[in-house]
Amino acid sequence: MKNISKIFFNLLLIILSLLSALIFYTENIPSFDEEIIQNIESKLDKSLNVKTNIDAIDIAWSGLKPKIIIKDLNLLNNKNQIILKTPLSELEIDIISSLKNGEINVRKFTINKTSVRLKYDDSSVVFNGLNIFNKSNSLDHVEIPLIIFNNSELKLTNINTEYTENFKVDNLVASLKRNIINVNAKFIHSSSTEPITFIFRGNP
Looking at residue 53, its pLDDT comes to 92
Helices and strands (H, E) in the chain, number of each type: 3, 11
Q: Which pLDDT score, from 0 to 100, does residue 3 have?
A: 56
Please write the tens of the pLDDT for every residue from 138-159: 555 556 778 889 999 888 888 8
pTM for the full predicted model: 0.69
Length of the chain (residues): 204
Specify whether the CB–CB gap between 118 and 111 falls below 8 A.
Answer: no
CA pair distance 84, 70, nearest whole angstrom: 13
Q: From CA 27, how far away is CA 68, in angstroms rounded?
A: 10
Question: Is 69:92 a contact under the CB 8 Å cutoff?
Answer: no
End-to-end CA distance of the chain: 56
* Rounded distance between C-alpha atoms, residue 123 and residue 107, angstroms: 28
Amino acid at 90: E
Element (H, E) at 43: helix 30-48
